């Protein structure tokens, strides 16, 4: 497994690093390659050389390869889901669900290869025709995070290849196992040499090599705001400038109104805030609750939290797996201290848990009496930590929901059509959910946010073509005089 895939060959990495199971730190999932910049350069050169051929390749070929990838992922969902859960720490059903999702994404984009369309318009000049077509962009560098080890790579790699681009894929250091397995499947499906490359390694080494290479035309990045900003600066500084697509953090509000169905609201909150250990950029980390239901809601959520099973991700019955690693756990604990220092009330959870195996187990934490100006309500924690802020009424709840630097997802629990419609229209988020958790999206529709959460075109669904293609406008004058039918002329 100490291998990168570069220029059509599996090559041993310069270094190797252990991949540790966060549910059991004594369990080493494997040793995986850590590349140096030179290996990234080699992959970029291969992708650059492969681009002219692949960009003109038959759409049937692209369709068949992507479909094959989707088929194999699905056929191996249990094994790949287990690997994913073992290295990332989400529960086995979540791991398998994510693998199925990756398969669906490849199937979707297999279909999209056959549906690429353009526009044909009349010109303002007589005798001239205009065609607007989409063409691939070039070599695309894909930089992915650890929290969705197979779905996020899938939703970048599949459209990149479908629309005729070549790829250098740099997965997150913490989850090389899923990236490696996915890459093996892509290679087996028959991508020509150089079209797809896997380079595992550090962001500051492999990631920066992608950012600094003039041969890379575009970067699709998902990760933290701080790194996203660096990526953006590097894309602008590069010559020529690179196209970019950045998916970064979230601090997603879930508004709960007095007229909400309490059971629905509690499930939305607990699922959105704590499932997948709260390690989703769409997690409902801010619960904004109107006064009439506030106390009942807090009581019901804390009661429900008592029954959450936090344990080894691979154990059956586990509902919440461990935090991904020591760094993330330190960050979660730091914010729990910050919340207490800021004067919020830790109403439930927040303590480390001992389980059979040594792992990063944290009891989901709920803060109440949270002012939206507090750091725990403004900064992304990326763990199983949620805040409850009391609002007077719907109007104040909406104001608080929008009072954030982020704008990825926002939810509302209400039985009022009036408030649901108003919220959908006025929420400053890229995705809005009514009576649903802020996390949990479909794969055939656009994903992305506003404000500090995202930059550039949307991901997923057919909207993905905006980033993975570039538009060409072609004008044709064919030299013909305007045609007037003879029968008419002689009338």
Tokens of 293: 């239901």
Q: Output the smallest distance, CB 329 to ligand ADP, in A.
A: 13
**Binding residues for ligand ADP, how many (CB under 6 A)?**
17
How far is residue 393's CA from residue 258's CA, in Å, rounded to a whole number? 8
Reduced to 3 states, what is the DSSP secondary structure of residue 107? Answer: helix
Which region, judged by CB under 6 A, interacts with ligand ADP, from 178-186, 225-233, 395-403, 417-425? 225-233
Using CB under 6 A, which residues numbered 360 to 399 contact ligand ADP? none
User: Is residue 172 near ligand ADP by the rule CB under 6 A?
Assistant: yes
Lookup: tokens for 70: 């989707």
The pair of structure tokens assigned to 358 is: 């040594």
Residue 143 in contact with ligand ADP, rule: CB under 6 A = yes
61 vs 225, which CB is nearer to ligand ADP? 225
- According to CB under 6 A, which one of 104, 178, 227, 372 is a site residue for ligand ADP? 227
Of all helices (H) and strands (E), which one includes residue 423? helix 417-426
How far apart CA 156 and CA 229 sit, in angstroms, is 19
For 7-162, where are the alpha helices, taking DSSP H only? 37-55, 59-75, 77-88, 92-113, 151-162
Is 146 an interacting residue with respect to ligand ADP (CB under 6 A)?
Answer: yes
| 223 is a contact residue toward ligand ADP (CB under 6 A) | yes
**Closest by alpha carbon to 196, among 208, 179, 212?**
179
CA angle at 75 for the pair 71 and 79, rounded to the nearest 5°: 130
- Count the Cβ atoms, other than its own, within 10 Å of residue 280: 24
Q: Which of 19, 85, 104, 144 binds ligand ADP (CB under 6 A)?
A: 144
Q: Does 204 bind ligand ADP (CB under 6 A)?
A: yes
Query: Which residues have CB under 8 Å from 130's CB, separation 6+?
Result: 120, 121, 122, 123, 473, 474, 475, 476
The question of whether 247 is a catalytic residue gets the answer: yes
Residue 222 CB, nearest distance to ligand ADP (Å)?
7
For residue 281, indicate whether it is catalytic. yes
373: CB partners within 8 A, 6+ apart: none
Residues whose CB falls within 8 Å of the CB of residue 214, separated by 6 or more in sequence, listed in order: 238, 239, 240
Given candidates 14, 25, 55, 224, which one binds ligand ADP under the rule CB under 6 A?
224
208 interacts with ligand ADP by CB under 6 A: yes
Q: Which stretch binds ligand ADP (CB under 6 A): 44-52, 170-178, 428-436, 481-489?
A: 170-178
Q: Determine which residue in the list 72, 88, 112, 173 makes contact with ligand ADP, applying CB under 6 A.
A: 173
- Does residue 145 interact with ligand ADP by CB under 6 A? yes
Strand partners, 119: 132
Query: Among the options 41, 87, 247, 380, which is catalytic?
Result: 247
Q: Which of 94, 208, 268, 281 is catalytic?
A: 281
| Region from 18-26, 106-114, 206-214, 465-473 binding ligand ADP, contact rule CB under 6 A | 206-214
Is the preceding peptide bond at 43 cis, omega within 30 degrees of 0? no
Q: How far is the CB of 203 from ligand ADP (least distance, A)?
A: 2
From the CB of 144, what's the least distance to ligand ADP, in Å? 6
User: Is the Cα torsion angle 19, 441, 279, 235 positive or negative in sign?
Assistant: positive
Closest-by-Cβ residue to ligand ADP is 203
164 binds ligand ADP (CB under 6 A): no
Confirm or reject binding of residue 203 to ligand ADP (CB under 6 A).
yes
Nearer to ligand ADP, 189 or 281 (CB): 281
In the numeric block, the tokens 């929290």 are attached to 147
CB nearer ligand ADP, residue 216 or residue 298: 216
Closest residue by Cα to residue 169 from 205, 206, 135, 204: 206
CB of 136 to ligand ADP, least distance (A): 23
Q: Residue 5 CA to chain centroid, in angstroms? A: 23
Is there binding between residue 211 and ligand ADP (CB under 6 A)?
yes
Are 245 and 459 contacting, i.e. CB atoms less than 8 angstroms apart? Answer: yes
Position 319 contacts ligand ADP (CB under 6 A): no
Choice between 164 and 176, CB closer to ligand ADP: 176
d(CA 468, CA 456): 11
Catalytic residue list: 247, 281
Which residue ranges make up the site for ligand ADP (CB under 6 A)? 143-146, 170, 172-173, 203-204, 207-208, 211, 223-224, 227, 230-231
């Amino acid at each position: 497994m100490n291998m990168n895939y570069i220029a059509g060959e599996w090559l041993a990495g310069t270094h190797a690093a252990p991949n540790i199971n966060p549910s059991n730190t004594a369990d080493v999932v494997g040793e995986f390659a850590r590349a140096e910049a030179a290996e990234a350069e080699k992959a970029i050169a291969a992708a650059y050389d492969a681009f002219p051929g692949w960009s003109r390749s038959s759409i049937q070929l692209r369709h068949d390869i992507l479909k094959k990838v989707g088929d194999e992922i699905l056929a191996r969902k249990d094994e790949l889901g287990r690997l994913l859960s073992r290295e990332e720490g989400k529960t086995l059903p979540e791991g398998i669900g994510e693998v199925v999702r990756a398969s669906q994404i490849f199937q979707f984009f297999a279909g999209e290869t056959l549906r690429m369309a353009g526009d044909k318009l009349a010109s303002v000049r007589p005798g001239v025709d205009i065609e607007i077509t989409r063409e691939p962009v070039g070599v695309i560098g894909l930089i992915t995070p650890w929290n969705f080890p197979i779905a996020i790579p899938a939703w970048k790699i599949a459209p990149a290849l479908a629309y005729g681009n070549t790829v250098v894929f740099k997965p997150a250091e913490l989850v090389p196992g899923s990236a490696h397995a996915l890459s093996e499947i892509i290679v087996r499906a028959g991508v020509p040499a150089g079209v797809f490359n896997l380079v595992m390694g550090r962001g500051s080494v492999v990631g920066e090599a992608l950012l600094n290479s003039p041969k890379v035309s575009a970067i699709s990045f998902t990760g933290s705001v701080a790194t996203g900003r660096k990526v953006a600066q590097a894309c602008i500084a590069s010559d020529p400038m690179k196209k970019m697509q950045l998916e970064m953090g979230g601090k997603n509000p879930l508004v709960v109104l007095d007229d909400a169905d309490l059971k629905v609201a509690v499930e939305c909150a607990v699922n959105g805030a704590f499932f997948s250990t709260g390690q989703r950029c769409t997690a409902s980390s801010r619960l904004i609750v109107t006064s009439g239901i506030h106390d009942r809601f807090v009581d019901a959520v804390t009661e429900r939290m008592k029954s959450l099973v936090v344990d080894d991700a691979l154990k059956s019955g586990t509902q919440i797996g461990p935090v991904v690693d020591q760094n993330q756990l330190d960050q979660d604990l730091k914010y729990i201290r910050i919340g207490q220092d800021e004067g919020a009330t830790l109403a439930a959870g927040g303590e480390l848990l001992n389980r059979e195996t040594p792992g990063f187990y944290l009891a989901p934490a709920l803060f109440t009496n949270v002012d939206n100006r507090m750091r725990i309500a403004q900064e992304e924690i990326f763990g199983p930590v949620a805040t409850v802020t009391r609002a007077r009424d719907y109007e104040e709840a909406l104001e608080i929901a929008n009072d954030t630097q982020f704008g990825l997802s926002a939810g509302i629990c209400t039985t009022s059509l009036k408030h649901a419609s108003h919220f959908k229209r006025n929420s400053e988020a890229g995705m809005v959910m009514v009576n649903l958790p802020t996390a949990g999206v479909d794969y055939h529709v656009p994903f992305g946010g506003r404000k500090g959460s995202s930059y550039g075109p949307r991901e997923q669904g057919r909207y993905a073509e905006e980033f993975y293609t570039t538009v060409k406008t072609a004008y044709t004058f064919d030299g013909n005089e305007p045609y007037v039918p003879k029968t008419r002329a002689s009338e």
